[in-house]
Amino acid sequence: MEFNIKSGSPEKQRTACVVVGVFEPRRLSPAAQKLDEATGGALSTLVRRGDMEGKLGQTLLFHGHSDVLCDRILLIGCGRERDLSDKQYRQIMATAAKTLNETGSMEAVYYLTELPVKGRDLMWRIRTAVEATRHSLYRFEQFKSNKDTARRPLRKVILTISNRRDLTDGEKAIRVGQALAEGMKQTRNLGNLPGNVCTPSYLADQAHSLASINPKLDVEVLEEKDMEKLGMGSLLSVARGSRQPAKLITMNYQGGEKGDKPIVLVGKGVTFDSGGISIKPGAAMDEMKYDMCGAASVFGTMTAITELQLPVNVVALVPATENLPDGDASKPGDIVTSMSGQTIEILNTDAEGRLILCDALSYAERYDPAVVIDIATLTGACVIALGNHATGLISNHHPLANDLLQAGKATGDRAWELPLWDEYEEQLDSNFADMANIGGREGGAITAGAFLSKFTKKYHWAHLDIAGTAWLSGKQKGATGRPVPLLVQYILDKCKH
């Protein structure tokens, strides 16, 4: 989808549709007022007669008026002006996009980026308009025989600004919004793919195809025999139960200077999590195809930063495997040796995410990282603690935690910090090995983080538990694309220094 930016009056736009806001109760936005003046009060008449209250989500399509050059005018209800929040603004964008898509306007000129969103500047409003519009039009229909495609879909949106001085920055904001939307789309697609298609080998192929179009991106895929040589006994113990070979995928993006220490992202890539021998109950088990959403978010982030050609070095590591029961699968009570040399007693084979991440986190040391951030659908306990609204954050370095929290706030992709205290680590004590892989029901999201922290002593590290935020269940089942906005914003912020 194409986005452009320009300045100019609404009554002078020669286009399929001009889109303007109406606030509650029945108050025309400045652009709507201009159209009203040009049409001899046509809009205020509509509003006065009660056709449009201005409530959030309301729409009113108005056909060709002889005093304006556009074919249609679309009025969008924006709710009350003084409490126009991020969420409302996104909803306005979604409503506009869906309405246009259904009414046959393939091109539209938006006067919505002028809306006064609380605490947000014009650049945020432009970037978010692009991202929210594309997000709302996303469909995952590759496996449907009858696709729900619009006959005349919205193809081009022109965002307007009142001051020509903002054109250059506005174009940049569009580029960022487009890259973010593209990255989120990739993350959602990978997440939504079924487990019989999106296997560890499929993820490895994705990495290769991303590299084939980006000269600054190198890909390396380690096979199980390579992992054996490296002593990754923990990662391999999870892969034992599966007939699909495990992969450890590295994507190395070199956009910065040679000597710049890289940001290392590690994404959990369990392409299906049955629980293994500690098998999960059947209800909603299909959703465990989403257990590679950490990996998917890393792919999406790499897509966005390569698209923007950011001046930074980023290494993405994806340990990828299935977790299935089998005669050769790990059993509760088995003890394995991780790449770090530490031994682990597997008390529950369903706590497999930490078992693959720990070896990838040890492997990360060789990149001499500035920071390491892992992203994982790690614990059901995190969903109980924070619901579907916040990603769980655990870190051994305050400034890093802070940067990530800020990036989440800036993009509306929020995280919330959980404590990493010694007491939690004690829950992992084992009678037979250096640690157990579970720490009991209490504080389950934190003990999972505490487990990982035993493998991240040599660098600044943060862990993002996206079990609650990576996908939606029920009628709206589908991947969300989170936490790509948070990650991309974090990296953008690093580029400014």
Which residues contact Zn ion by CB under 5 A? 270, 273, 291, 353
* Angle in degrees, CA 166, 168, 169, rounded to 5: 65
Location of structure tokens 């709206």? 476
Task: List beta partners, residue 4.
Answer: 158
State in angstroms the smallest separation of the CB of 42 from Zn ion. 57
| Segment interacting with ligand BES, rule: CB under 6 A, options 23-31, 145-153, 221-229, 348-356 | 348-356
Interface region with Mn ion, contact rule CB under 5 A, candidates 16-24, 243-251, 270-278, 366-374: 270-278
- Residues 51, 61: contact at Cβ < 8 Å? no
Active site residue 280: yes
Between 273 and 465, whose beta carbon lies closer to Mn ion? 273
361 in contact with ligand BES (CB under 6 A): no
> How far, in Å, CA of 297 to CA of 226, rounded?
25
Q: Is the dihedral of CA 202, 208, 209, 211 positive or negative?
A: positive
Q: Please say which residue, 223 or 286, places its beta carbon nearer to Mn ion.
A: 286
354 is catalytic: yes
- Part of the chain binding ligand BES (CB under 6 A), chosen from 159-167, 256-264, 344-352, 489-497: 344-352
Of 166 and 350, the one with the shorter C-beta distance to Mn ion is 350
The CA distance from 293 to 281, in Å, is 21
Asked if residues 472 and 388 have their Cβ atoms less than 8 Å apart, the reply is yes
- CB count within 10 Å of CB 118 equals 11
DSSP 285: G
Query: Is residue 381 involved in binding ligand BES (CB under 6 A)?
Result: yes
User: What is the closest distance, in whole angstroms, from the C-beta atom of residue 287 to ligand BES in the complex?
Assistant: 7
273 is an interface residue for Mn ion by CB under 5 A: yes
351, 355, 358, 363 alpha-carbon torsion, rounded to 10°: -150
Report, in Å, the least distance between residue 496 CB and Mn ion. Answer: 38
The answer to whether 397 touches 371, Cβ cutoff 8 Å, is yes
Cβ closest to Mn ion, residue 86 vs residue 350: 350
Of residues 179 and 336, the one with the C-beta less far from Mn ion:
336
> What is the rounded radius of gyration, in angstroms, for the C-alpha atoms of the chain?
25
Segment interacting with Mn ion (CB under 5 A) among 228-236, 314-322, 344-352, 456-464: 344-352
Q: Which of residues 464-493 bind ligand BES (CB under 6 A)?
A: 467
Q: What does 343-375 look like in DSSP terms, one character per residue?
A: EEEES-TT--HHHHHHHHHHHHGGG--SEEEEE
Tell me whether residue 36 or residue 291 sits nearer to ligand BES (CB atom): 291
What is the closest distance, in whole angstroms, from the C-beta atom of residue 314 to Zn ion in the complex? 25
Helix boundaries (H) for 351-483: 353-364, 380-386, 398-411, 422-426, 444-453
Q: Which residue among the candidates 185, 247, 289, 354 is catalytic per the annotation?
A: 354
**Nearer Cβ to ligand BES, position 326 or 442?**
442
The distance of closest approach from Cβ of residue 346 to ligand BES in the complex, given in angstroms and rounded to an integer, is: 10
Asked if 486 contacts 391 with a C-beta cutoff of 8 angstroms, the reply is yes
Q: Is 350 in the site for Mn ion (CB under 5 A)?
A: yes
Regarding 380 and contact with ligand BES (CB under 6 A), the answer is yes
Shortest Å distance, C-beta 302 to Zn ion: 22
- The DSSP annotation for 174-199 comes to HHHHHHHHHHHHHHHHHHHS-TTTS-
Q: Which of 80, 216, 280, 477 is catalytic?
A: 280
Stretch that binds ligand BES, among 50-58, 207-215, 296-304, 376-384 (CB under 6 A): 376-384
Q: Can you list the positions of beta strands (E) in 255-355? A: 263-267, 269-273, 313-323, 334-337, 343-346
Closest contact distance (angstroms) between CB of 455 and ligand BES is: 17
Query: What is the binding site for ligand BES (CB under 6 A)?
Result: 273, 291, 348, 350-353, 377-381, 383, 438, 444, 467
Catalytic residues: 280, 354
Query: What is the binding site for Mn ion (CB under 5 A)?
Result: 273, 350, 352
